[in-house]
Amino acid sequence: MAAIPASDRGRRFVVLIGAPGAGKGTQSARLAEALGLCKLSTGDLLREAVRAGTPLGRAAEERMRQGLLVEDDVILGLVREHLRTPGCAGGAVLDGFPRTLAQAEGLDELLAEVGQSVERVVSIEVDEEEIVRRLSGRRICERCGRVRESAEIVAPPEPPSPQVAALPADGVAAAEVCPSCGGPLVQRADDRPETVRRRLEVFREQTAPLLAWYAQKSLLGRVDGGGDVARIHALVRRELT
Ligand code: AMP
């Protein structure tokens, strides 16, 4: 067997699974920071590609808008490319990937190529009513792409910053500005109620079967995703020890 390059030894790959709105994005950012790993969110990478108007973004946009999954080979290509970036040298917290059995198998193959494997899979579990409530309040910054949970949305500073003052008066509610950059906060097209229902269905049908698959490999931990962000972070960390 080929020797494992020294740089690949000890890399950590942790997967967070959860329905849309379960808090994977928030928790994966915290976890990645705490462990010194990169956060690899396929949803963020796709949205970046859509914003930049790349061929991949143009191909993915319609499926995303409809709440359907983007094709497995496109996703696996994106992940392969991103895992090679220097930021992921120590490993990655995978957010929103894998979402299908084919992607999970593809991930195993990608990691096996560099002598690595998935260390742990943590399922963040929240009931559907709570998910619909959360997603209807969620906003994304049009300028910097950061997602804001409803509780984080803040009123603009007084007097408004130049960026806020420059917002179109009719396009965006005045209270909905990004706390980081002052950009306009908008609802993601796929956070609208009818699309949320589709995404939940897709999760149940295509992603939830991964839980049994990872449980069978003794890699799965489950945490209750309700309540305080710090408490959930502690529960996720406990699953990794
Ligand atoms: P997310 O931000 O993770 O909820 O992803 C938003 C949308 O991007 C999803 O509804 C899918 O259309 C697409 N997407 C993100 N990750 C994947 C993936 N691993 N496989 C297929 N589609 C994905």
List pLDDT tens digits, range 97-132.
999 999 999 999 999 999 999 999 999 999 988 898
Whether 58 and 125 share a structural domain = yes
Q: Specify the ligand 1 atom closest to the Cα of 98.
A: 19
Same domain, 178 and 200: no
Find the residues whose C-beta lies inside 6 A of ligand 1.
Answer: 20, 42-43, 46, 63-64, 67-70, 75, 96-97, 99, 103, 190, 199
Residues 172 and 205 in one domain: no
If asked whether residues 180 and 103 sit together in one domain, one would say no
pLDDT attached to residue 170: 40
Q: Are residues 124 and 219 in the same domain?
A: yes
Q: What is the mean pLDDT of residues 161-180?
A: 54
Helix (H, G, I), strand (E, B) or coil at 219: coil
- Same domain for 71 and 181, yes or no, is no
**149 assigned to some structural domain:** yes
For tokens 């969110």, name the residue. Answer: 41
Q: Are residues 225 and 169 in the same domain?
A: no
User: What is the average per-residue pLDDT within 65-87?
Assistant: 95
Q: State whether residue 35 is helix, strand or coil.
A: helix
Position 9 confidence tier, pLDDT thresholds 50, 70, 90: low
Q: Specify if 33 maps to a domain.
A: yes
Active-site residue flag, 133: no
Q: How many domains does the chain have?
A: 2
Residue-number span of the structural domain to which 219 is assigned: 6-130+190-239
